[in-house]
Amino acid sequence: MNFEKIRLEFTHEERAARITLAAPKANILDRLMIRELDAAFSQCASHELNAIILDAEGPHFSFGASVQEHLPHRIAGTLQALHALLRRIFEAPAPVIAAVRGQCLGGGFELALTCDLIICDHTALFASPEIKLGVFAPAASALLPVRCGQALASRLLLTGTPIGAEEATRFGLVAMLADDIDVQLGELLKSDFLSLSPSSLKFACRAVRHPLRRIFEQDLPELEQLYLRDLMTTADAEEGIRAFLEKRAPRWNKPALAEK
């Protein structure tokens, strides 16, 4: 398959795969990129791999999903495609390592959260800003409490404020904070993954992901329905999306209190 918005390469004698978001600087997860990522991870499933690296071109990992594709008449297909991709990553036959530089927002953050490990450099910034658009992040709502605890998850999801690399590492969201991600990845592959049995790693992945299985089989479908059936029927959800696209402040049904 020829890709327009990503790259897929097999390295280290085809024992590792590298999937790169290749639409900088924003690396927006639109339907085409989601479809290509799904195809790339599907190709990886047919190889005996020791690791899969997910990274991005440019200064930022991803600004998230396409806001245009979150309008009411398009959101169902967009959300279902994104969640299908996350389930594909969850079922990957080898450890999946997200390498994050710069901003990692919204759907891009959910993409990284689905990976087994997140490695980042000091420029990394993580956020679920959906609430500022009058919506919420279904996958992050399910994954963040498991990944970093309920307190930080609630702060990220209910305020939309970002956290930096150091704080994310301190809370266990990030596995490794590196001065140079490429150097760190090379050392990690060589020292920790390439010498292992790919067959055994496949079973180890299933075991270590077991606490997340309920999320993808039960919680995420329920939150998807909450989003589509309930949230998207409200005036404020559509208002938030349209306000963002029109580059103006949203006019909520019940305006927030003005700052003193």
Q: Catalogue the active-site residues.
A: 110, 130
DSSP symbols for 139-196? HHHHHHHHHH-HHHHHHHHHH---EEHHHHHHTTS-SEE-SSHHHHHHHHIIIIITTS
Token pair 């450099």 in the structure block, residue: 121
Q: Are 100 and 61 in contact (CB under 8 A)?
A: yes
The whole-angstrom separation of Cα 224 and Cα 138 is: 6
* DSSP at 14: T
- Beta-carbon contacts of residue 195 (< 8 Å; ≥ 6 apart): none
Question: Using alpha carbons only, how large is the chain's radius of gyration in Å?
Answer: 18
Task: Find, among 134, 141, 132, the residue nearest to 109 by Cα.
Answer: 141
Token pair 């279902």 in the structure block, residue: 80
